[in-house]
Amino acid sequence: MNPFVRLYEAPVETLTAAAYVAVLFGALVVTWWALGRNLLYLRDQYQNGWKYLIPFWYTVRAAAVAVLVAVDLLLIGAIIYVL
């Protein structure tokens, strides 16, 4: 359906959906930034190496990467659902 026709027929619903998409897109940008920062940290720490055991904070950041990827996928699904 033409978005302008939809805006004319149901302006509140259409603008609310657009606002939800804007908020979800903003959250997606923030999680992509956090994901990039974590991946840079992990690459740097991996290149420095360690002696015997994997450091605790390296494991925490690796788990955070998995959680951020899951959140990103949920946000992308929510954006598609709203549209």
Q: Distance between CA atoms of 13 and 19, rounded to whole angstroms?
A: 10
pLDDT digits (tens, 9 = 90+) for 19-76: 999 999 999 999 999 999 999 999 988 887 877 788 898 999 999 999 999 999 999 9
Given a contact cutoff of 8 angstroms between Cβ atoms, the answer to whether 26 and 16 are in contact is no
Alpha-carbon dihedral sign for residues 27, 29, 35, 40? negative
Q: Which of 39, 44, 46 is nearest to 62 (CA)?
A: 39
pTM: 0.79
Q: Cβ atoms within 10 A of the Cβ of 47, count? A: 7
| Centroid of chain to Cα 68 | 6
For position 81, what pLDDT does the model report?
Answer: 92
